């Protein structure tokens, strides 16, 4: 039906869409029943299950869990310090406002079933309440485990303090800080990263690796899909390491690459056809039409690169360039391949890894470019940083740790900026609500509607940060204005300002109040209120 819609350039009717969804879920149910029956009722299926279980036991028996304890404590302290000012700011961040006031979950609508289920256990109820900082502390713990396992996998099972500190961009890149700011969502976003790393603990056993890859990737897809490129990034760096050092033959490398590719594609297909719920709100799950898949993907890559170039400060760009230079240099000096060939392959490795760090979003017609959707770039940096410091010279180690120190310090700036902006926004909101409550002390939902025009500007401290780190304007929300869907909710509902309605452009009979020349009923240094008694236009001043 999707293909037919593209050919005839016509969307299916509601009935046809409902029928397609029903058939899809029915096929998915039949598929899983057949798999279950094969694994439990047939001799070959039971044998396969036993082999997978035994291989998983063998892999786990080869891991000394005690070696993870001290590294885990170290990374927990590092990430906790990095998240300290964010937690201390105690700011309801975007969706947090709705969940803390209304108690809904609503991850199901974005196919995040694991997040939906885990939230019930974490909050101890189907009705959510604000239990921060517990979710953010869980996110810090999960990130710590993810960093330790990433170093273990990439560092040939050798964990050192330097390698652990090199992995800091995994959780403290400017992009994942956006995720840590969420009081409700943070642990599930972190879990999606961890789920992408876990399968590589079973890399020595093919069947166990495939099984764990599929299960872990499905967990990733049903927690936060922005991690969809991490599994591919780790696969690529492992293949590059083995090829460049000739630790494995080309046949063995291709075999592993093919195995990982099959597991990844199979998991993505299961999610896409049987588990994914179509979404079309501020972003969309729709892919580019077949005829535009190449041009559309290239357009997404270009915008992804341009967004990162705009977001990062100059000192970060210089640090990243130095780290990538050391990656190429280390690859050349330690290569068992022809030097010129290794040089071009290492450059190609950087370019391809950067592109794939955006994950499956590359294929979407309308991908999300908010900071929380681009933290794959932080994992990309983390992988290359760990690779560079592994058994290499002190200048490379200094360059990596200097870059990561900059990210670590920025995390403090971000948390403090959140608090400063919130104080400024609450001050402006308090003034506005005071004026409105004096003008309209006894109005009800039936006869009054509000509309905001313009937005309050950033607090001076945020503006100061933005001079050198433009990404701060993505991370810190203005909180009052017409730019985001949470602005009117925040100043009306979060502050318990009655049951007033907002003038929504999506309404069928929407009329922009700014075109009505409403009389001015109040004017101050910070805002102007225009109203005819039923319609209220608030013009915010910068």
The answer to whether 480 touches 538, Cβ cutoff 8 Å, is no
State the pLDDT at residue 284.
73
Instruction: Indicate yes or no: pTM above 0.85.
Output: yes
The answer to whether 422 touches 480, Cβ cutoff 8 Å, is no
State the pLDDT at residue 11.
56
The answer to whether 146 touches 375, Cβ cutoff 8 Å, is no
State the pLDDT at residue 252.
93
Please check whether residues 290 and 428 belong to one and the same domain: no
Please check whether residues 279 and 361 belong to one and the same domain: yes
State the pLDDT at residue 242.
93
State the pLDDT at residue 444.
59
Is the pLDDT score of 282 beyond 80? Answer: no
Q: What is the 3-state secondary structure (H, E, C) of 310-371?
A: HHCCHHHHHHHHHHHHHHHHHHHHCCCCCHHHHHHHHHHHHHHHHHHCCHHHHHECCCCCCH
Kind and range of the H or E run holding 539: strand 535-540
What sign does the CA torsion over 416, 420, 421, 426 have? positive
Mean pLDDT taken over the chain: 88
Please check whether residues 332 and 476 belong to one and the same domain: no
Place of tokens 């330690």: 334
Q: What is the 3-state secondary structure (H, E, C) of 356-375?
A: HCCHHHHHECCCCCCHHHCC
Q: What is the DSSP string of 143-190?
A: HHHHHHHHHHHHTTT---HHHHHHTTHHHHSHHHHHHHT-TTTHHHHH
The CA distances from residue 485 to 97, 153, 362, in Å, are 11, 41, 25
Please check whether residues 298 and 382 belong to one and the same domain: yes
Distance CA 94, CA 174 (A): 17
Who's near 399: CB < 8 A, 6+ residues apart? 319, 322, 323, 326, 388
* Over residues 244-267, mean pLDDT: 93
State the pLDDT at residue 500.
67
Please check whether residues 381 and 494 belong to one and the same domain: no
Domain boundary among 332, 359, 392: 392
The answer to whether 539 touches 454, Cβ cutoff 8 Å, is yes
Q: Give the closest residue to 373 by CA, choosing from 303, 450, 458, 299.
A: 303
Distance CA 167, CA 172 (A): 9
Is the pLDDT score of 15 beyond 80? Answer: no
Q: Which of 20-29, 65-74, 121-130 has the lowest mean pLDDT?
A: 20-29
Question: Over the stretch 306-346, which tens digit does the pLDDT of each residue have?
Answer: 999 999 999 999 999 999 999 999 999 888 888 899 999 99
3-class secondary structure, 66 = helix
Kind and range of the H or E run holding 101: helix 95-102
In a domain, 397, yes or no: no
Please check whether residues 387 and 468 belong to one and the same domain: no
In a domain, 461, yes or no: yes
In a domain, 320, yes or no: yes
Please check whether residues 451 and 384 belong to one and the same domain: no
Please check whether residues 365 and 482 belong to one and the same domain: no
Please give the distance of CA 308 from its chain centroid, rounded to a whole number.
15
State the pLDDT at residue 454.
85
Please check whether residues 376 and 442 belong to one and the same domain: no
Domain boundary among 325, 358, 392: 392
The CA distances from residue 230 to 68, 267, 275, 287, 377, in Å, are 21, 14, 20, 20, 9
The answer to whether 161 touches 175, Cβ cutoff 8 Å, is no
The answer to whether 346 touches 327, Cβ cutoff 8 Å, is yes
Question: Over the stretch 208-241, which tens digit does the pLDDT of each residue have?
Answer: 999 999 999 999 999 999 999 999 999 999 999 9
Query: Residue 384, class by beta-carbon neighbours within 10 Å (0-12 exposed, 13-18 middle, 19+ buried)?
Result: buried
Is the pLDDT score of 378 beyond 90? Answer: yes
In a 13 Å sphere around the CA of 300, the CA atoms on its Cβ side amount to 25
In a domain, 171, yes or no: yes
Who's near 498: CB < 8 A, 6+ residues apart? 443, 444, 445, 492
State the pLDDT at residue 323.
95
In a domain, 13, yes or no: no
Is the pLDDT score of 483 beyond 90? Answer: no
pLDDT band at 527 (very low <50, low <70, confident <90, very high): very high
Who's near 338: CB < 8 A, 6+ residues apart? none
Question: Over the stretch 395-422, which tens digit does the pLDDT of each residue have?
Answer: 999 999 999 999 999 999 999 999 999 9
The answer to whether 491 touches 497, Cβ cutoff 8 Å, is yes
Place of tokens 């291989």: 55
The total of structural domains in the chain comes to 2
Is the pLDDT score of 9 beyond 60? Answer: no
Place of tokens 């029943």: 33
* Over residues 86-103, mean pLDDT: 87
In a domain, 52, yes or no: no
Question: Over the stretch 495-525, which tens digit does the pLDDT of each residue have?
Answer: 777 666 777 766 767 788 888 889 999 999 9
In a domain, 25, yes or no: no
- Beta carbons within 10 angstroms of residue 223's beta carbon: 27
In a domain, 386, yes or no: yes
* Over residues 372-380, mean pLDDT: 95
The answer to whether 476 touches 466, Cβ cutoff 8 Å, is no
Domain boundary among 338, 361, 392: 392
Please check whether residues 255 and 363 belong to one and the same domain: yes
Backbone angles phi, psi at 531, to 5 degrees: -160, 150
Kind and range of the H or E run holding 453: strand 449-453
Please check whether residues 251 and 346 belong to one and the same domain: yes
Question: Over the stretch 450-471, which tens digit does the pLDDT of each residue have?
Answer: 888 888 889 999 999 999 999 9
Domain holding 211, by residue range, is 66-392
Q: State the virtual CA torsion across 179, 181, 186, 192 in degrees, nearest 10.
A: 10
Please check whether residues 194 and 304 belong to one and the same domain: yes
Distance CA 86, CA 21 (A): 41
């Amino acid at each position: 039906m999707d293909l037919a819609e593209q050919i005839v350039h016509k969307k299916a009717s509601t009935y046809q869409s409902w029928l397609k969804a029903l058939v899809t879920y029915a096929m998915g149910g039949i598929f899983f029943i057949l798999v279950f029956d094969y694994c439990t009722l047939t001799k070959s299926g039971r044998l396969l299950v036993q082999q997978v279980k035994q291989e998983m036991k063998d892999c786990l028996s080869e891991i000394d869990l005690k070696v993870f304890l001290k590294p885990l404590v170290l990374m927990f302290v590092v990430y906790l310090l990095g998240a300290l000012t964010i937690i201390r700011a105690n700011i309801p961040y975007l969706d947090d406002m709705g969940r803390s006031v209304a108690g809904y979950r609503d991850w199901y609508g974005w196919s995040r079933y694991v997040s939906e289920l885990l939230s019930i256990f974490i909050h101890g109820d189907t009705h959510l309440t604000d239990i921060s900082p517990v979710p953010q502390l869980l996110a810090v713990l999960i990130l710590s485990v993810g960093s330790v396992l990433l170093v273990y996998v990439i560092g040939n099972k050798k964990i050192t303090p330097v390698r652990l500190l090199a992995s800091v961009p995994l959780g403290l890149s400017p992009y994942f800080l956006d995720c840590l700011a969420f009081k409700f969502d943070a642990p599930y976003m972190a879990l999606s990263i961890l789920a992408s790393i876990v399968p590589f603990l079973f890399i020595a056993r093919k069947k166990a690796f495939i099984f764990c890859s599929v299960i872990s990737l499905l967990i990733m897809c049903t927690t936060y899909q922005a991690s969809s490129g991490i599994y591919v990034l780790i696969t690529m760096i492992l293949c590059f390491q083995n090829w460049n050092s000739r630790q494995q033959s080309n046949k063995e490398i291709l075999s592993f690459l093919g195995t990982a590719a099959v597991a990844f594609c199979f998991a993505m297909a299961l999610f896409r056809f049987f588990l994914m719920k179509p979404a079309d709100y501020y972003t969309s799950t729709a892919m580019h039409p077949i005829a535009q898949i190449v041009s559309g993907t290239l357009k997404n890559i270009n915008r992804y690169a341009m967004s990162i170039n705009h977001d990062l400060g100059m000192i970060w760009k210089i640090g990243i360039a130095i780290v990538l230079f050391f990656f190429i240099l280390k690859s050349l000096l330690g290569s068992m391949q022809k030097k010129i060939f290794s040089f071009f392959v290492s450059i190609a490795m950087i370019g391809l890894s950067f592109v794939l760090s955006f994950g499956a979003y590359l294929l979407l017609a309308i991908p999300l470019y908010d900071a929380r959707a681009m933290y794959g770039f932080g994992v990309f940096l983390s992988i290359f940083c760990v690779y560079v410091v592994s058994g290499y010279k002190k200048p490379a180690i200094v360059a990596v740790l200097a870059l990561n120190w900059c990210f670590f310090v920025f995390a403090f700036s971000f948390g403090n900026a959140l608090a400063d902006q919130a104080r400024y926004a609450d001050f402006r909101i308090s003034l506005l609500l005071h004026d409105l409550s004096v003008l309209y002390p006894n109005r009800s939902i039936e006869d009054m509607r509000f509309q905001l025009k313009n937005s309050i500007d950033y607090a001076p401290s945020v503006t100061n940060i933005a001079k050198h780190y433009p990404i701060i304007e993505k991370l810190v929300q203005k909180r009052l204005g017409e730019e985001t869907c949470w602005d009117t909710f925040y100043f009306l509902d979060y502050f318990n300002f009655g049951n007033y309605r907002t003038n929504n452009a999506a309404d069928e009979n929407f009329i922009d109040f700014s075109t009505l020349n409403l009389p001015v009923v109040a004017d101050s240094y910070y805002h102007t209120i225009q109203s005819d008694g039923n319609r209220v236009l608030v013009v915010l001043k910068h």
